[in-house]
Structure 1
Amino acid sequence: MKKFGFLSFGHHGADGDAFDARASLHSAIDLAVAADEIGVNGAYFRVHHFARQAAAPMPLLSAIAARTRHIEVGTGVIDLRYENPLHLAEEAAALDLISDGRVALGVSRGSPEPAFRGWEAFGYTGSTDPRGADIAREKFPKFLAAIKGEPMVDGDPKQFPQGHRLSVQPHSPGLHRRIWWGAGTRETAVWAAKMGVNLMSSTLLTEATGQTLGELQAEQIRAYREAWKEAGHNWEPRVSVSRSVFPIVSDLDRRFFGSGGEGRDQVGVIDGFTSTFGRTYADEPHRLVEQLKADEAVMEADTLMMTIPNQIGTEYNLHVLESFARHVAPELGWEPANA
């Protein structure tokens, strides 16, 4: 593990609550600024719609990018069912230019939403899949081509009488190497490798074989890397996994997590698939080091995204990140962003 960052789901209460949408967004900015100062590598955010969670990532990521120097800004993941691929490519390029190349933009089909076929309310119809996975996959090649600066449309013949093709603007060179696909299966991981993008292994896998999430993800990562090699891409991709990790170093930590984390992964049904969800790691630092070293996927990946309970507040979440950075991450090979 060379890098670690925090992954926030952006939960918030109703308007006027102590932790409403405004408070959640400002807390996210404050946490990212403080995390940047201690060398945390990334600030990543889930994207959901029709729910009291983070929904519009670009304003938030731009605000963070403008106030930080080192930390990556990104998503885990943007739901392509709800997106115009060319508009998203414009916004991603602008964000990458603002951040001086610090974007780590995860996209995918996304997770189940509370709205029934909510993407249709955004104007994206035609899916024959009840989960909308087909339109997300169809949009991705156009989005990636636009990110690469490939021509997308014919120029107006009145302005270009000899003919000319136009690409979306702005363009940020190299951004295509900072795009990630969020994969929940081995099949989608292999597809991401063939497409030539980084792998963001999901917070769950839609498989339940009796193996741990770490074992399943390690197999997924190895399949991805083999497919990447076979595809012949000329650069080295990155791979991330997500975990809930809480070092116990204070009385308050013991009050929250004194009984320790979940002893094993959980199995449940999501979108009709029996799926494996990761356990929560909560223990004293030296035990966490042993446990995470025994987690095959954490050791296979180069980036760890620590899921945080954002409603617990900026101060405590910063304490969690500081504790991990001080007592656990160095033992796992961490390279601080501000080193």
Structure 2
Amino acid sequence: MALEKLGFLTIGTFDREDPRAGHETTLRMIELGERLGYDSAWVRHRHLQYGVSSPVALLAAATQRTSRIALGTAVIPLGWENPLRLAEDLATVDLLSGGRLNPGVSVGPPLRWSDVKGALYPDTADVEDFSPARLTRLLDLVAGEEASPFAGTEGFEVFSERVEPHSRGLRERMWYGGASRSSARRAGELGMNLLTSSVIEATSKEGPWDFAETQAAQIDAYREVRPEGRVSQGLVVVPTDSASPAQRDRYHAYAAARTPRTATPQGERGMLFARDLVGTSEEIAAELHAHAGYQRVTEVVFALPFAFQPEDYEQILGDIATRLGPLLGWRPTG
């Protein structure tokens, strides 16, 4: 199948002492993506780290600097969010974008929960619900269902029973960042689209482990529930066609340092990491065509590596759009 939609994902790194410069670089990358014809640009979510902590706010700025490219979050961990307040922010940014926002979310307790709960939920940490019910609340509120039993006028104030503003169509553009077959099925049951990434949950504690086949099974589980839903695959892809010798050496060294973790499941949950794809566009295209997960999708969001320089990202984005994309059957959007 030809690739229909091509996107990219960035963590939006910045320097502790000069965070504005990093955020400006991320916005310029989104602008470049639109000029190159990408269908979507996505921002990762990082709390208490040197990456974008408020992607919705950053994408609000991006709506005013772009006109066509879809803007996504991959993903917002709902354990850090109040669903009603998040629904308001998402609708506001979607309206500012003209209906281009694609919010991706996930469920579960916040990362490093024991360290952050005192600052995040000092009074309610022991009773916060991090189950999928938190996601259901968000989806209902985004869809315009009742948030308050009162609607009407009180003095000079006019109140609505639903979250305002309301953005029609946003509910259909909600994505779930799933890492397992069960989460993929949940995404389908909730009528959401599915984001798969370069990190997924192993289905067995005993090897051999095949990331591509495991990801393919996850996508199949989603499509059994919701065959009409959209699925996007995300891998770290670094074409070297127009890279300088120094860039090529750096890219290969980066991938080599990360490769050992792909051999076995990592952490308590047994997470499988995909190998970074570094090489010429022809080499990467051949690997993707042989990848069982890629074979099941018609849209991708390629993740940019961490800790590279702006000129590196410009080269990588340019090569993906002008060389790798066409080899995969993709055509840029004008």
Question: Contact conserved, 2:109 with 2:130, CA < 8 A, in 1?
Answer: no
Give the superposition deviation at 1:179.
Answer: 0.5
Match of 1:82 in 2: 80
Structure 1 CA distance, aligned partners of 2:5 and 2:200? 22
Question: Contact conserved, 1:243 with 1:306, CA < 8 A, in 2?
Answer: yes
Structure 1 CA distance, aligned partners of 2:255 and 2:284? 11
Match of 2:235 in 1: 243
Runs of 4+ in structure 1 over 6 Å off: none
Asked whether 1:96 is paired with 2:90, we answer no
The aligned amino acid for 1:256 is R
Asked whether 1:185 is paired with 2:177, we answer no
The match for 1:254 among 248, 255, 272 is 248
Give the superposition deviation at 1:144.
Answer: 0.4
Give the superposition deviation at 1:273.
Answer: 1.5
Is the alpha carbon distance of 1:195 and 1:143 closer, same or farther for their aligned partners in structure 2, counting shifts above 3 Å? same
Structure 1 CA distance, aligned partners of 2:165 and 2:263? 44
TM-score (norm: length of structure 1): 0.86
The aligned amino acid for 1:181 is Y
SS of 1:139's equivalent in the other structure is helix
Question: Contact conserved, 1:58 with 1:95, CA < 8 A, in 2?
Answer: yes
Unpaired stretches in structure 1, ≥5 consecutive residues: 230-235
The match for 1:292 among 288, 302, 314 is 288
The aligned amino acid for 2:328 is L
The aligned amino acid for 1:333 is G
Unpaired stretches in structure 2, ≥5 consecutive residues: none
Structure 2 CA distance, aligned partners of 1:117 and 1:259? 33
Give the superposition deviation at 1:101.
Answer: 1.1
Structure 1 CA distance, aligned partners of 2:115 and 2:231? 30
SS of 1:257's equivalent in the other structure is helix
Count of residues in correspondence between the two structures: 320
SS of 1:152's equivalent in the other structure is coil
Give the superposition deviation at 1:126.
Answer: 5.0
Match of 1:232 in 2: none
Match of 2:27 in 1: 29
Aligned-residue sequence identity (percent) comes to 29
Question: Contact conserved, 1:81 with 1:119, CA < 8 A, in 2?
Answer: no
Is the alpha carbon distance of 1:119 and 1:201 closer, same or farther for their aligned partners in structure 2, counting shifts above 3 Å? farther
SS of 1:11's equivalent in the other structure is coil
Give the superposition deviation at 1:165.
Answer: 7.0
Q: Which moved more, 1:181-190 or 1:207-216?
A: 207-216
Asked whether 1:269 is paired with 2:263, we answer no
Give the superposition deviation at 1:47.
Answer: 1.0
Question: Contact conserved, 1:208 with 1:276, CA < 8 A, in 2?
Answer: no
CA RMSD of aligned residues (A): 2.5
Q: Which moved more, 1:282-291 or 1:149-158?
A: 149-158
Structure 2 CA distance, aligned partners of 1:113 and 1:10? 19
Structure 1 CA distance, aligned partners of 2:147 and 2:97? 25
Match of 2:322 in 1: 326
Q: Describe how 1:113-262 pairs up with structure 2 within 5 A.
A: 113-114=111-112, 116=114, 118-119=116-117, 121-123=119-121, 125=124, 135-155=130-150, 159=154, 166-207=161-202, 209=204, 210-229=208-227, 236-249=228-241, 250-252=243-245, 253-257=247-251, 261=255
Q: Which moved more, 1:305-314 or 1:146-155?
A: 305-314
The aligned amino acid for 1:257 is Y
The aligned amino acid for 1:211 is W
SS of 2:184's equivalent in the other structure is helix
